[in-house]
Structure 1
Amino acid sequence: MAYDEGLAHRLGESLGGLPGISEKKMFGGIAFLWNGNMLVGVMGDGLIARVGPEAQEDALAQPGARVFDFTGRPMKGWVVVDGAAVSEDEALDDWIARCRDFVEALPPK
């Protein structure tokens, strides 16, 4: 499956200055890991956002968000956001911040 390389580039630009960021091919797309924990990614034309179980309900209430159901089983604490909903940098930065709030509390891998 191809993924939106433009969105991946924008994520790389936004996260580039954050210590501990790495990229890895996952889910047929690309993922950005922070200290070894997945933070965000791109699959198809959507943003994969790891917001955590406590923030999932609020995240799903945001425009363009849906449950991340890659394998037929929804992943708790993860959402997919339509690419159109993160076409503006401010919206993308908001999703990155949501994900950072959760992943920052995880122990490094």
Structure 2
Amino acid sequence: MAYDEELAKRVREYLAEFPELEIVEKKMFHGLTFMVNKKMCVGVSGDELMVRFDPNLHNEFCEQNGFRAMLTKGREYKGYGYINPDYIKTNNQLNKWLDIALQFNKEIKAKKK
């Protein structure tokens, strides 16, 4: 599971600014996923940022440069996508996507096991 350690560090540092959040890192999706308050929030897969967001914003995000929808077995997953590393070079660019994921994370309930 190779993933960009520097990008993971940047995500980790940003999330650390919110001490009220429960953050757990898990290796999954061919990379590192950050669980926030027991819910999948963001991840690093290869050199891309994986974000989870409100599925109602899916079509809007698909039109943005640097975004690609998550596909698994030919199926597009609304509410999940990858951000090209060229579009998260600055902290402002990265933080924009992290904020989107954190906002959605507040709105959803954790799945019960």
Runs of 4+ in 1 over 6 A off after TM superposition: none
Task: Give 1:58 deviation, angstroms.
Answer: 1.9
Number of positions where the alignment pairs a residue of Structure 1 with one of Structure 2: 109
Going from structure 1 to structure 2, the CA distance change for 1:4 and 1:71 (only over 3 Å counts) comes to farther
CA RMSD after TM alignment: 1.4
The equivalent of 1:103 in structure 2 is: 105
Provide the C-alpha distance between the structure 2 equivalents of 1:7 and 1:60, rounded to a whole number of angstroms. 22
Can you give the 5+ residue segments of structure 1 that lack an aligned partner in the other structure? Answer: none
Can you give the 5+ residue segments of structure 2 that lack an aligned partner in the other structure? Answer: none
Q: How does 1:19-58 map to 2 (within 5 A)?
A: 19-58=21-60
What letter corresponds to residue 5 of structure 2 in structure 1?
E
Contact 1:36 1:108 in 2 (8 A): yes
The equivalent of 1:68 in structure 2 is: 70
Provide the C-alpha distance between the structure 2 equivalents of 1:57 and 1:3, rounded to a whole number of angstroms. 27
What letter corresponds to residue 8 of structure 1 in structure 2?
A
Greater strand share, structure number: 2
DSSP 3-state at the match of 1:104: helix
Give the % identical residues.
36
